Amino acid sequence: MLQGVDPVLTGQVLLHLDAMGHSDAVAVVDAHFPAHRLGQRVIDLPGLGTPRVLRAVRTVVPLDDAPALDLMTSADGSVLAVQKELMAAAGVDDTSTRFVDRFDYYGLAQEAYVVIRTGETRVYGNALLRKGVVVLPGEIRGDA
């Protein structure tokens, strides 16, 4: 275990999050998601829910520009409780969240750098987050 690092972030998770570049995506998906069929790299965290894992990921991954977060549109188009929890865990609201049709979401997840499959059993408990630029303390972002 590392000091200051969320214990949800295993060495394997940290390795892949670190290897991601700007605009690469991490898909944090529920237990129902076809992760091993779609994902190039899949990490299983079966004892955890997606909001918890996404909150941990956000401690080390900055957000890309909007849309920073993609969620799968529910069957009736409503925003479900788990989706509200995912937005809160990512630190975004509905203005920087894009809701995507199920099959379009599968395509996005297939292109993700890494897929983290959780034990989340609530349907539509899937989130795709794009990595922004990591700016170290004291550095200035952009041309200054």
Q: 74-86, pLDDT tens digit by residue?
A: 999 999 999 999 9
Could you list the residue range(s) of the whole structural domain that residue 124 is in?
19-130
Asked whether residue 2 is assigned to any structural domain, the reply reads no
Asked whether residue 85 is assigned to any structural domain, the reply reads yes
**Helix %, strand %, coil % for the chain, to 5?**
30, 20, 50
Q: Quote the mean pLDDT of the chain.
A: 94
For the segment 37-63, what is each residue's pLDDT rounded down to a tens digit?
999 999 999 999 999 999 999 999 999
Domains in the chain: how many in total? 1
Q: Where residue 90 sits, what CATH number does that domain have?
A: 3.40.1650.10
Estimate the crossing angle of helix 50-58 against helix 81-90, to 10 degrees.
10
Asked whether residue 61 is assigned to any structural domain, the reply reads yes
pLDDT band at 142 (very low <50, low <70, confident <90, very high): low
Asked whether residue 32 is assigned to any structural domain, the reply reads yes
Which positions are catalytic? 22
